[in-house]
Structure formats: C-alpha cells, structure tokens
C-alpha cells in the first residue's frame, strides 16, 4: 500500500517541470484541511487557496487566448460558452486525475478517505499548480501554456465538435413543451467556498420532482449542468 502524499519529485517528472522553489509546489498541494490541522499542532503552513485564486486567472487567459486564435470565426458569445464548457469542475478534475495529482496532495485526516478523488479538491489543486508554475517560472505564461495546453486541447476539441455552444436549458424546455405546458424551475440548493471561488449547486425541478442536478462556479453554469443531466435522464440526444 502506498504512503501518501507521494514525493513532489515524482510529480515534477510527471508534469515535466522542475521547480526552483519546492516550497511553492508544496504550497499548491496543501489542502485547507491539512493546513488547519498543522495550525492546531503549532506548525502553521499556508493552504493552496490563494494560489487557486491566481491559478483560476492564469487558466482563463491561456484558454481564452487559445480559443480566440483557434476559432477566429466564432463570435464572443460562442467563445464564452466554449470556455465555460471546458473550464469547469468536470474537466479540471479530469486533467488533475490524468496526471495523478490526487496522489501528491497534503490532506487532513478527515479528507484522506475520499479527498484524493474529490472533483472539487482536484480542480482547486490543479488551478493552484498552474499558479505555482507561473510564479516559479518568473510569471512566464508560455511555460504554463506548454504544460496546460497538451492536456486541455483534447477536451476543447471534443467540446467544439460535440456539445459546445449547446444551451441545455433551452433544449430541455423545448423537449418538455413538446408534450406539456409545464415549466422547469432551477433551484439553488447550496453555495460553498470563499467569495472569490463560490460553488453553486442547483436542482432542475419539474412539478416538484428533481430531474437533474448540477454544480458550477456560477449559478448559470450550475443550471446548464442540471439541465444537461435532465436531458440524459430523458434520453434526449
């Protein structure tokens, strides 16, 4: 049985980037649960929440620039939808899993059982890692791009040829109205996280029945994901 977290040197090999400052890499892997435990033991260490804040912006500019250049004929609205479809918990946690990021996280005892595969924890850690590379490289956005884009481009390609630009709420309402006059309600049932990184949980309800659930960084994204799940439920292609 492996002892976690694995060594950061192994992660450097995996991501093909060697850090000058190992502490910033460790910081990017430190979940708040571990940080809080260490404070209780009088050995404080900073969590990755501040790096996550920066990494979110680094991620956005890299993906936005790529989409702007790649899809030169798409208008702003379609580019925004495309970016939202790939810069989301589902995609980022998948990319984190692809590099085994969960194996390197510093987690508190309460998170050890499920934290290494928790989508939100993985998403946050991935964004934090981007920020760590950015800062360690002297704010070199190209170095971060060299790491990120090979992972992200396949997801963008899938989205652009498959589901991108789909307004799932409109598709779902059209499907429902084909046989009924009922309207779907989207209820925000939970909000978590700090103000700069809120996560919204929304339920799509039809006649008080829950037909889909979704999470997102905005209520709009969460509603779209709830509608998407409902379309799957109704087997709408």
Q: Please give the model's pTM, rounded to 2 decimal places.
A: 0.70
What the chain holds in terms of domains, given with CATH numbers, is 8-161 (1.10.1520.10), 168-233 (3.30.160.20)
d(CA 32, CA 123): 14
First to last CA, the chain: 43
In the chain, where does DSSP find H-type helix?
8-15, 22-28, 32-40, 49-70, 76-86, 89-98, 119-136, 141-161, 168-177, 219-233
56 annotated active-site: yes
Q: What is the pLDDT of residue 2?
A: 64
CA 169 centroid distance within chain? 21
d(CA 235, CA 228): 10
Mean pLDDT score, 45-71? 96
Among candidate residues 37, 127, 136, 229, the one labeled active-site is 127
Among candidate residues 56, 111, 221, 223, the one labeled active-site is 56
Q: How many residues would you count in the chain?
A: 237
Q: What is the pLDDT of residue 190?
A: 94
Q: What is the pLDDT of residue 1?
A: 45
- Residues 74 and 82 sit within 8 Å (Cβ to Cβ): yes
| 137-150: pLDDT as tens digits | 999 999 999 999 99
Q: What is the pLDDT of residue 128?
A: 98
3 annotated active-site: no
- Between 32 and 174, name the one with better pLDDT: 32
d(CA 104, CA 74): 39
d(CA 177, CA 127): 40
| 156-181: pLDDT as tens digits | 988 887 544 467 888 888 888 887 78
> Which tokens sit at 183?
């309207």
- Residues 83 and 164 sit within 8 Å (Cβ to Cβ): no
∠115-121-124 over CA atoms, to 5°?
160
Paired strand residues for 106: 30
Paired strand residues for 4: none
| 46-58: pLDDT as tens digits | 999 999 999 999 9
3-state secondary structure of 212: strand
Q: How many CB atoms lie within 10 A of CB 126?
A: 25
Phi and psi, residue 192, nearest 5°: -135, 165
């Amino acid at each position: 049985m492996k002892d976690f977290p694995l060594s950061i040197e192994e992660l450097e090999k995996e991501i093909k980037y060697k850090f000058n400052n190992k502490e910033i890499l460790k910081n990017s892997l430190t979940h708040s649960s571990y940080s809080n435990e260490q404070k209780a033991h009088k050995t404080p260490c900073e969590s990755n929440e501040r790096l996550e804040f920066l990494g979110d912006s680094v991620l956005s500019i890299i993906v936005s620039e790529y989409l702007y250049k790649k899809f030169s004929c798409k208008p702003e609205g379609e580019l925004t939808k495309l970016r939202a479809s790939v810069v989301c918990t589902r995609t980022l946690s998948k990319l984190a899993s692809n590099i085994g990021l969960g194996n390197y996280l510093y987690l508190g005892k309460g998170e050890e059982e499920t934290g290494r595969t928790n989508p939100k924890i993985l998403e946050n850690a991935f964004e934090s890692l981007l920020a760590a590379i950015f800062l360690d490289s002297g704010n070199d956005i190209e170095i971060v791009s060299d790491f990120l884009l090979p992972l992200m481009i396949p997801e963008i390609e899938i989205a652009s040829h498959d589901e991108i630009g789909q307004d799932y709420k409109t598709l779902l309402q059209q499907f429902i109205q084909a046989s009924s006059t009922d309207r779907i309600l989207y209820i925000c049932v939970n909000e978590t996280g700090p103000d700069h990184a809120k996560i919204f949980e929304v339920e799509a309800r039809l006649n008080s029945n829950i037909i889909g659930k979704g999470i997102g960084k905005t209520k709009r994204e969460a509603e779209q994901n709830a509608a998407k799940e409902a379309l799957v439920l109704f087997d709408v292609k």
